[in-house]
């Protein structure tokens, strides 16, 4: 277990489920920047027993921990648990943790949309914890930091939606643009697709290339529309086209309205 050498009165014990993935590694890095945080458990079912700094050498000398199985979270010693897993997995984990954890933050998309029907339409699988959708708070602090502070279940915003919502909301509220006919084009690095190997994500397919994908069907479309509509008080509709570009990370979004 990694503990900062300086004692703090209000240390926050944080555990991460899916800690071996790219999002998990970024969460570890962010936690290490906080002197009031103690990393309690790093859960990764595919890397149980492996040292964290073996998989991610950038943490050598900073994190002397091994990846653990999910069962360790039953000790009830975590104040906050981040779930950094592909969509469709957090919905099965959250009910198992609710009684023992003060706050759960889902980095994936399982709790971002207000209805199971909308989720199932765009994510293409059944939501097994639809009764919890009403409890989840959308975790964009620029919109509702007070609600986030009180929430027990937080839905971390999507990457594309964050870039679009923060750009559009001020001009929508000011009435500078129409709430219809908004066109969003986003370029994303390939690490957003995660670590699972596939032909489409191979070097030969992506190098010196650009590819639009999920045109008109991307799961972030309803997220963008729902959040902007609720925050602006208008029914917002968007045309959103995401593109993969040969970069490791980052998003570049251009919006026309």
Residues with a catalytic annotation lie at 159
Q: What is the arrangement of strands in the sheet containing 37-43, beginning at the earlier edge strand?
A: 37-43, 12-17, 80-83, 103-106, 153-155, 137-138
Dist. CA 78–CA 151, nearest whole Å:
16
Each residue of 119-153: b (16+ CB within 10 Å) or e? beebbeeebebeebbeebbbbbeebbeeebeebeb
Q: H or E segment at 244?
A: strand 238-244
Contacts with 161 (C-beta within 8 Å, 6 or more apart), sequence order: 112, 220, 223, 224, 227
Tokens of 80: 């906050």
Answer yes or no: are the C-beta atoms of 119 and 136 closer than 8 Å: no
Query: What distances in angstroms separate CA 157 from CA 71, 107, 136, one per listed residue?
Result: 27, 7, 12
């Amino acid at each position: 277990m990694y503990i900062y050498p300086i004692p703090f009165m209000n240390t926050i014990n944080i555990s991460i489920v899916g800690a071996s993935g790219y999002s998990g590694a970024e969460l570890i890095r962010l936690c290490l920047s906080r002197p009031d945080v103690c990393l309690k458990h790093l859960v990764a079912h595919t890397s149980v027993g492996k040292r964290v700094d073996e998989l991610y050498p950038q943490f050598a000398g900073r994190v002397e921990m091994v990846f653990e199985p999910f069962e360790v979270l039953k000790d009830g010693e975590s104040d906050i648990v981040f779930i950094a897993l592909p969509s469709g997995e957090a919905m099965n984990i959250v009910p198992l943790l609710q009684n023992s954890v003060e706050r759960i933050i889902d980095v994936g998309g399982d709790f971002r949309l207000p209805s199971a029907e909308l989720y199932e339409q765009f994510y293409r699988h059944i939501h097994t914890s639809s009764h919890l959708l009403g409890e989840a708070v959308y975790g964009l602090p620029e919109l509702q930091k007070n609600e986030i502070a009180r929430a027990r279940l937080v839905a971390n915003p999507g990457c594309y939606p964050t870039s679009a919502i923060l750009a559009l909301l001020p001009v929508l509220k000011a009435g500078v643009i129409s709430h219809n006919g908004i066109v969003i084009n986003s370029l994303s690095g390939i690490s957003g697709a995660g670590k699972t190997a596939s032909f489409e994500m191979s070097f030969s397919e992506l190098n010196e290339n650009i590819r639009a994908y999920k045109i008109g069907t991307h799961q972030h479309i309803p997220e963008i529309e729902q959040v902007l509509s609720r925050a602006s008080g208008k029914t917002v509709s968007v045309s959103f086209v995401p593109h993969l570009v040969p970069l490791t990370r980052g998003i570049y979004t251009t919006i026309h309205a």
